[in-house]
Amino acid sequence: MKTADVIVSFRGVRKTYDGETLVVKQLDLDIYQGEFLTLLGPSGSGKTTCLMMLAGFEFPTGGEIWLDGTLLNTVPPHKRNIGMVFQNYALFPHLTVEQNVAYPLTVRRLSADERAQRVNQALKTVRMEAFAKRYPAQLSGGQQQRIALARALVFEPKLVLMDEPLGALDKQLREHMQYELKSLHEKLGVTFVYVTHDQGEALTMSDRVAVFDKGVVQQLDTVDRLYESPCNEFVANFIGDSNRLRGTIAQVDGDYCEFHLVDGTRLVGRNIAGAQAGTPAVACIRPERMKLAANGLRAGANALAGEARGLIYFGDHVRMRCGLPQQDECFVKVPLGTEAIERFAPGAPVALEFAPEHLRVFA
């Protein structure tokens, strides 16, 4: 995207609560007009703090936050024209649905007619117009979430922020609401910034994802590149499932390297960090990229010898647990109906193969 499309900019932003430990460290981040950006990371990684600074509920210790050309550092939350959806929805229990949605318009002193028109349109957008006269206690969790979203959209903000808004929902409803939110985003074209620790949620909805750890963005990328091309070991293990292999880089050949495992097995993989020969490293490979080598190895494939440890049924596939010499257990994703599975009782020898381009070696 072009620079002109940037709506939010973090420039050198830092945040500390105790004057010593930086919760957010030197953050530089651009958010583009109309995108769905997710801030993803484990608890304590700094993602929620960034969202709170953008919303105005926290202020940066250093650096600058810009919204559409306006410096936000000292602007109070109610003057930022930003919609906010909280994890607990924060609906007023004594107000009806339409009164809750109208609240931001009342604060902004819009006329009664305009308030009624905008509330009705916002409720239609989330398909909740039939519930206008009910109270929050009369709604399910998913319905309350929709009302909170309608309230965030009703005053036509430049930006909508969401702090783990689906965290309180059950799995099936949460997955349904993910598709609802993505569809609504595509329909409205408003910029969404979403915080979650659920990587599946991030991959389902986002245009781009910023992966946080220890107050630093480890990688900012599209969802497909995050999954297929993680830039370091943390991202590889946090986004999706990865098998980890410990060893040493023996030789370097351009972007690839020869990687020796602890037991002497030789593999070839991508040298992600450009490390030199002799460097201890960890290699990561996705379970679906490993195959059972039932009828001999393919030419040019890496090979591992181990033993079957058991099968885990996932509905649409089976995961085989495999033991490897002097390594952690690894998992292989095997499609249902694969005949070879039946031969691998616990303790049976297995041969695994995978292409060098799918093995990512991190120093």
Q: Tell whether 68 and 33 lie within a shared domain.
A: yes
CATH code, domain with 78: 3.40.50.300
**pLDDT value at 241 more than 70:** yes
At 12, the pLDDT band (50, 70, 90 cuts) reads very high
Q: Tell whether 90 and 183 lie within a shared domain.
A: yes
Distances (CA, A) of 67 to 25, 37, 74, 152, 160: 20, 15, 12, 17, 12
- Count of Cβ atoms closer than 10 Å to residue 243 Cβ: 25
Q: What is the pLDDT of residues 81-130, one digit of tens each?
A: 899 998 888 899 999 999 999 999 988 888 999 999 999 999 998 889 99
Residue type, 151: R
Q: Which of 39, 18, 26 is nearest to 220 (CA)?
A: 39
Q: Tell whether 16 and 164 lie within a shared domain.
A: yes
Average pLDDT over residues 256-277: 93
Q: Tell whether 61 and 206 lie within a shared domain.
A: yes
Q: Which of 296, 295, 216 is nearest to 39 (CA)?
A: 216
Q: Tell whether 318 and 283 lie within a shared domain.
A: yes
Q: What is the pLDDT of residues 295-336, one digit of tens each?
A: 655 656 799 999 999 888 887 788 989 999 999 999 999 887
Q: Tell whether 213 and 95 lie within a shared domain.
A: yes
The encoded tokens of residue 63 equal 């650096």
Per-residue model confidence (pLDDT) at position 298: 61
Q: Tell whether 206 and 343 lie within a shared domain.
A: no
At 2, the pLDDT band (50, 70, 90 cuts) reads very low
Q: Tell whether 135 and 27 lie within a shared domain.
A: yes
Per-residue model confidence (pLDDT) at position 294: 66
d(CA 38, CA 8): 14
CATH code, domain with 288: 2.40.50.140
Per-residue model confidence (pLDDT) at position 193: 97
> Which domain, by its residues, includes 130?
3-234
Q: Tell whether 144 and 93 lie within a shared domain.
A: yes
Q: What is the pLDDT of residues 278-289, one digit of tens each?
A: 999 999 999 999
Of the candidates 234, 249, 281, which is a domain's last residue?
A: 234
Could you tell me what percent of the chain has a pLDDT over 90? 67
DSSP-derived secondary structure for 288-343:
GG-EE-TT-PPTT-EEEEEEEEEEEE-SSEEEEEEE-TTS--EEEEEETT-GGGGG
**pLDDT value at 3 more than 60:** no
Please state whether beta strands 159-163 and 191-196 pair in parallel, antiparallel, or not at all (unpaired). Answer: parallel
Average pLDDT over residues 151-167: 89
Count of H helices and E strands in the chain? 8, 20
Of the candidates 234, 250, 275, which is a domain's last residue?
A: 234
Give the start-end residues of each E strand in the chain: 6-16, 22-32, 36-40, 62-67, 70-71, 82-85, 159-163, 191-196, 208-213, 216-222, 243-253, 256-261, 266-271, 280-285, 291-292, 302-313, 317-323, 330-335, 349-354, 360-362
**pLDDT value at 339 more than 50:** yes
Q: What is the pLDDT of residues 199-216, one digit of tens each?
A: 989 999 999 999 999 999
Task: Please tell me the pTM assigned to this model.
Answer: 0.88
Q: Tell whether 255 and 226 lie within a shared domain.
A: no
Of the candidates 234, 267, 292, which is a domain's last residue?
A: 234
**pLDDT value at 48 more than 60:** yes
Number of structural domains the chain divides into: 2
**pLDDT value at 51 more than 80:** yes
Q: Tell whether 112 and 60 lie within a shared domain.
A: yes
Q: Tell whether 166 and 91 lie within a shared domain.
A: yes
Mean confidence (pLDDT) of the chain:
90
Query: Which range, of 135-139, 170-174, 284-288, 328-332, averages the lowest pLDDT?
Result: 170-174
Q: What is the pLDDT of residues 65-74, one digit of tens each?
A: 999 999 999 8
d(CA 288, CA 278): 29
Is residue 326 within 8 A of residue 262, CB to CB? The reply is yes
Q: Which of 48, 173, 146 is nearest to 89 (CA)?
A: 146
